[in-house]
Amino acid sequence: MLSGPTRPSIGTTFPPLRDDVVDAAVIGGGVIGLATAWRLAQRDLRVAVIDPSPGSGASFVAGGMLGGVAETGFAEADAASTHVVARDSWDPFLAELSATIGRPLPYAAPGTVMVGFDRSDAQAIDHLVTFQRNLGLPGRPVDRGELDVLVPGLGRSVRSGYFLDRDAAVDNRAVVVALIEAATTLGVCGVSENCTSITATRSGLTVTTTEGQLHASSVVVATGAAPLPALPDATSAPAIYPVGGVILRLEPLRDVQTPAVVVRSVVRGRPLYLVPRPDGSLVLGATAVERGFDVAVHVSDLHQLLDDGRMLLPFLDECGVLDVMTGLRPTTPDHRPIVGATTTPGLYLALGHYRNGFLLAPATAEHLASLVASHGAGR
Ligand code: GLY
CATH of the domain at 231: 3.50.50.60
Q: Tell me: do 119 and 148 sit in the same domain.
A: yes
Which pLDDT score, from 0 to 100, does residue 378 have? Answer: 52
Q: Of 307, 331, 355, which one is at a domain's C-terminal end?
A: 331
In a domain, residue 4? The reply is: no
Q: Tell me: do 215 and 188 sit in the same domain.
A: yes
In a domain, residue 1? The reply is: no
Q: Calculate how far, in angstroms, residue 141's C-alpha sits from the geometric centre of ligand 1.
A: 24
Q: Calculate how far, in angstroms, residue 327's C-alpha sits from the geometric centre of ligand 1.
A: 10
In a domain, residue 216? The reply is: yes
Q: Tell me: do 155 and 284 sit in the same domain.
A: yes
Q: Which tens digits make up the pLDDT trace of 265-317?
A: 999 999 999 999 988 899 999 999 999 999 999 999 999 999 999 999 999 99
Residue nearest to atom 3 of ligand 1 (CA): 355
Q: Tell me: do 255 and 271 sit in the same domain.
A: yes
CB 23 within 8 A of CB 44: no
Handedness of CA 17, 187, 43, 359 (dihedral sign): negative
Q: Tell me: do 16 and 161 sit in the same domain.
A: no
Q: Tell me: do 340 and 370 sit in the same domain.
A: yes
Which pLDDT score, from 0 to 100, does residue 46 have? Answer: 98
Ligand 1 pocket test: which of 65, 262, 359, 360 has the largest number of ligand atoms within 8 Å of its C-beta? 65
Q: Tell me: do 16 and 96 sit in the same domain.
A: yes
Q: Tell me: do 116 and 47 sit in the same domain.
A: no
In a domain, residue 6? The reply is: no
Residue nearest to atom 5 of ligand 1 (CA): 286
CATH of the domain at 326: 3.30.9.10
Q: Which tens digits make up the pLDDT trace of 10-33?
A: 889 999 999 999 999 999 999 999
Looking at the structure of the chain, the number of domains it has is 2
Which pLDDT score, from 0 to 100, does residue 274 have? Answer: 97
In a domain, residue 2? The reply is: no
Which pLDDT score, from 0 to 100, does residue 8 have? Answer: 72
Residues of the chain below pLDDT 70 = 1-7, 377-379
pTM metric for this prediction? 0.95
Domain region containing 49: 11-107+168-239+334-379
Q: Calculate how far, in angstroms, residue 63's C-alpha sits from the geometric centre of ligand 1.
A: 6
Q: Tell me: do 190 and 74 sit in the same domain.
A: yes
Q: Tell me: do 327 and 372 sit in the same domain.
A: no
Q: Tell me: do 304 and 183 sit in the same domain.
A: no
